[in-house]
Structure 1
Amino acid sequence: MTENRSDEVARGRPREHRNPLPGLPDLRRVGANPDFWYPVALSRGVRSGRVAATAFAGERIALFRGRSGAVHALEDRCAHRQVPLSMGVVDGETLRCCYHAWAYRGDGRISQIPYLSKGDGRPPRGVRAYPVREAYGLVFVFPGDPERAAVTPLPDVPGFASSKYRTMTFSRTVRCHYSFMHENLLDMNHQFLHRGVVGRLQPKLLAYESGPRSVEARYLFTHTGGKRNRSAGLLAAEGIGGRASSDVMTIRTEYPYQTLDLVPEKADHPALRLWAVYVPEDAEQRTCHAYGLLMIEKPRISAALHVAWPFIRHFTERVFAEDRMAVEAEQRAWDEQGEDRNHEVFSLILDVRDVLRTNGVPLGPAATANARACDTRACDDLVP
């Protein structure tokens, strides 16, 4: 059931403050639910006939693209001597371990052991294969129950296929629990952090709604002064022509994904759309890989966006770098304190924490041990 917070926002009376500690599990010890499609690489990072290493929550995964062009995802270990299959060689539609050339099909089954003779020991069946799909220039895997993969849709990314937008893709490692990223994007009261890039922005929370799997907030943004990076105007209501107006920003966590739409004043559709997800890499889930698709509306003079593109990317990278600095500092504090000592007062963020807790899964006691065992960092920034 969806709960609308517009009345209490309008009255200026926040909900009764809830202490996030007593009686509630520490959110930073809640794992991402594996029963969803998660991107683990850029499509262009998995080249034909090549292997790429990646991971989901401490599970190392080897991706390879066979002769047919299809991408396969296998548990990154040979069933023989446990050597990573990501060190292997693609042979047609199979992946050969670099050590003894055991060949694996895309379903994880062993298709050949070159030197095996009749009467030799019985070979193992193979390794785990993950359901895999490609969309939006990303490689998605389903790390949970494989029987649920067929009935679980890929995330919807409106605007990606539209000729009205041009898409910028982001792929960055962030050394924090994925929940910090959800909070950062939803809580637009942190604009002071970006004052050197966007000037003085005044965000006003207009309303928000929350439900079992989602939280959606609408903000009105007004620029009140200070030096503003020109690219910020290109991404907002000023547009290529530089006119001044206000923007309405709608941000939504629909577990486990996030979206953002920015609609200029008097416009009937977004000038900017963002889709993002934060994929845990290590078993303790203190590091995540942020994948983002930023869709920017093309102006009437399309060449103008082409010229502005490098400047827009530089601007977005600066904003992201500042956000990463903040969330990684939050993670370091959690590491030092050994618990979540945050004293959150914003009911919107308390709600998104509830969504992440109730839809996530507990991290098992073996997570720490697994994280130490899974010491490879080959999945960091698969494509520079």
Structure 2
Amino acid sequence: MTDLRRVGISPDFWYPVALSREVPKGETRAAAFAGERLALYRGAQGAVYALEDRCAHRQVPLSMGVVEGETLRCCYHAWAYRGNGRICQIPYLPKGGERPPRGVRAYPVREAYGLVFVFPGEPEKAAATPLPDLPEFASPRHRTMTFSRAVHCHYSFMHENLLDMNHQFLHRGVIGRIQPKLLGYDAGPQSVEARYLFTSGKGKKDFGAGLLSAKGPRGSKGSDVITIRTEYPYQTLRLAPTNTELPAFSLWAAYVPEDAEQRVTRAYGLLMIAKPPVPGALPLAWPFIRRFTERVFAQDRTAVEAEQRAWDEQGEDRNHEVFPLILDLRDVLRGNGAPLPS
């Protein structure tokens, strides 16, 4: 069986590569997807473009260039590119000389949910491939917290970490002695969905944990139902207290490899939190919730990066997984992935 850590992510989906606010009008930004360097820039009309990050002339990164209207001009010899990657001006091109190159690759781009998405796969598939559907993002009943963090591991470790809630012992100093119980799960060719019952136990709990779970600032005892789904290539998590139908929060996550070997992943997350009945309560709780989520993520990052270091040292996957849910998840990631370039 193919080692999952040697399987690349499929390029035929929309992937976030930057926050929208990181690409202001008239400026450029360097980004990457699985070893492909991208130059993002926002034109005068507000549209974001994504080009291969190299000038066809001397290979200087176009992300170092200058935006002029809807075009991007290389910082070195001022060759100008349209948003479709075509060269539209070479200031000193002699008549009758050598035919210049046509340009560089342009990537389909969409903006949604405060993120810049690109389609790295076959361009003709982009129009028929939907963006993730996140109705809670635009709902006036929710407020969204956005995350973007680099993690030094294969993207598959991130999927396993979130889906396997048996690792809550790792977070005992933040959320107390949580007792997760797998209620059941469903698996198919492109997805795995698991449902857990979380029961609070003893131990000190971060103040933000109680605020986020909608149990009050003291984090009173009780149970939550957490539903986690990997719908390739994205992942979602929803938490709902057992006494209510509405989730206290939902999380959408995408894990975007940046390097060619796909050992460095940019994790993007949108945490959509339901507003409590008390007006103005959520803004007051916001910094505490942010601190709590950052603490949990830091612990998870430490664990998955340790897993990656072990793989690097051993040269193969020596994990002895006993949880059927994770074995099925690996089949989904392996079956929908793409071969890594040799």
TM-score (norm 2): 0.99
**SS of match in other structure, 1:302:** coil
Question: Cα offset for 1:235?
Answer: 1.2
| Equivalent residue for 2:52, pick from 72, 75, 84 | 75
Partner of 1:300: 277
Partners of 1:215 and 1:284 in 2: CA distance: 25
Does the CA-based 8 Å contact 1:240-1:304 persist in structure 2? no
Partner of 2:135: 158
Partners of 1:267 and 1:223 in 2: CA distance: 17
Partners of 2:285 and 2:107 in 1: CA distance: 40
Is 1:268 the equivalent of 2:235? Answer: no
Question: Cα offset for 1:308?
Answer: 1.1
Partners of 2:135 and 2:248 in 1: CA distance: 13
1:38-53 maps to which residues of 2 (within 5 A)? 38-53=15-30
Partners of 1:150 and 1:33 in 2: CA distance: 16
Does the CA-based 8 Å contact 1:237-1:243 persist in structure 2? no
**SS of match in other structure, 2:29:** strand
Partners of 2:72 and 2:46 in 1: CA distance: 14
Is 1:114 the equivalent of 2:91? Answer: yes
Code of the residue aligned with 2:27 in structure 1: it is R
Partners of 1:362 and 1:229 in 2: CA distance: 42
Partner of 1:220: 197
Partner of 1:15: none
Does the CA-based 8 Å contact 2:182-2:197 persist in structure 1? yes
Gaps in structure 2 of 5+ consecutive residues: none
Partners of 1:210 and 1:180 in 2: CA distance: 18
Code of the residue aligned with 1:102 in structure 2: it is W
Does the CA-based 8 Å contact 1:237-1:265 persist in structure 2? no
Partners of 2:283 and 2:11 in 1: CA distance: 38
| Equivalent residue for 1:128, pick from 88, 101, 105 | 105
Is 1:327 the equivalent of 2:304? Answer: yes
Partners of 2:106 and 2:124 in 1: CA distance: 12
Does the CA-based 8 Å contact 2:43-2:67 persist in structure 1? yes
Is 1:231 the equivalent of 2:208? Answer: yes
Partner of 1:201: 178
Does the CA-based 8 Å contact 1:263-1:272 persist in structure 2? yes
Is 1:148 the equivalent of 2:89? Answer: no
Does the CA-based 8 Å contact 1:41-1:140 persist in structure 2? yes
Partners of 1:194 and 1:312 in 2: CA distance: 15
Partner of 2:333: 356
Code of the residue aligned with 2:87 in structure 1: it is I
Partners of 1:48 and 1:258 in 2: CA distance: 31
- What is the percent sequence identity of the aligned residues? 76
Is 1:316 the equivalent of 2:293? Answer: yes
Gaps in structure 1 of 5+ consecutive residues: 1-23, 366-384
Please give the per-residue CA displacement for 1:66-113, whole angstroms capped at 9, x wherever unaligned: 000000000000000000000100011000000000000000000000
**SS of match in other structure, 1:354:** helix
Partner of 1:99: 76
Partner of 1:374: none
Partner of 1:279: 256
Please give the per-residue CA displacement for 1:340-376, whole angstroms capped at 9, x wherever unaligned: 00000000000000000000001121xxxxxxxxxxx
Code of the residue aligned with 1:158 in structure 2: it is P
Question: Cα offset for 1:237?
Answer: 4.1
Question: Cα offset for 1:224?
Answer: 1.2
**SS of match in other structure, 1:160:** helix
Partners of 1:231 and 1:157 in 2: CA distance: 24
Question: Cα offset for 1:243?
Answer: 4.7
Does the CA-based 8 Å contact 1:237-1:246 persist in structure 2? no
Please give the per-residue CA displacement for 1:21-58, whole angstroms capped at 9, x wherever unaligned: xxx10000000000000000000000110000000000
**SS of match in other structure, 1:83:** coil
**SS of match in other structure, 2:322:** coil
Please give the per-residue CA displacement for 1:201-223, whole angstroms capped at 9, x wherever unaligned: 00000000000000000000001
Partner of 2:267: 290
Partners of 1:179 and 1:135 in 2: CA distance: 24
Please give the per-residue CA displacement for 1:159-195, whole angstroms capped at 9, x wherever unaligned: 1111111100000000000000000000000000000
TM-score (norm 1): 0.88
Code of the residue aligned with 2:21 in structure 1: it is R
Partner of 1:188: 165
**SS of match in other structure, 2:201:** strand
**SS of match in other structure, 2:320:** coil
Code of the residue aligned with 1:41 in structure 2: it is A
